[in-house]
Amino acid sequence: MKKVTNDLKSIATQLSTLAKEIETMAKAFEKTVEPAVPKKKAVRVAKKKIAPTGKTLTPTDQVLSIMKQFKKGITVGTLREKSDLTEKQISNIVHRACKKGTMTRVGRGIYSVYGL
């Protein structure tokens, strides 16, 4: 009987030490866990486009300035000779400008910025 009581006492002391260890672990865990606060999302600011300054012209501006020299109109081949652009670039520029209304088609392959 004495043996059983001694065993029970030792089990009780071991349980109490385990309970103390668990309490210290729980306190340490509570310190590390912070309350869940939603983080603010970073606001993106759109970059402002800087207008071209100085003498640099866009290819569209180059084509339009060349076309202004020819009142009756100009062909794509002549535009290609006057500007150092490819035929594909010029045809794209002419197509966009005609769609916008900044130039018109005078005849087959002849375009003008006058007479709008």
The domain ranges of the chain are 1-34, 59-112
Calculate the average pLDDT of the chain.
Answer: 82
On the question of pLDDT at 71 being above 70, the answer is: yes
**Using H for helix, E for strand and C for coil, what is the string for the chain?**
CHHHHHHHHHHHHHHHHHHHHHHHHHHHHHHHCCCCCCCCCCCCCCCCCCCCCCCCCCHHHHHHHHHCCCCCCEEHHHHHHHCCCCHHHHHHHHHHHHHHCCCEEEECCEEECCCC
pLDDT tier, 11 (very low <50, low <70, confident <90, very high otherwise): very high
Instruction: Choose the weakest-confidence range: 1-5, 12-16, 103-107, 111-115.
Output: 111-115
| Tens-digit pLDDT profile for residues 26-43 | 888 777 766 666 677 777
**Fold annotation for 59-112:** Arc Repressor Mutant, subunit A (1.10.10)
Question: What integer pLDDT is reported at residue 36 of this predicted model?
Answer: 63
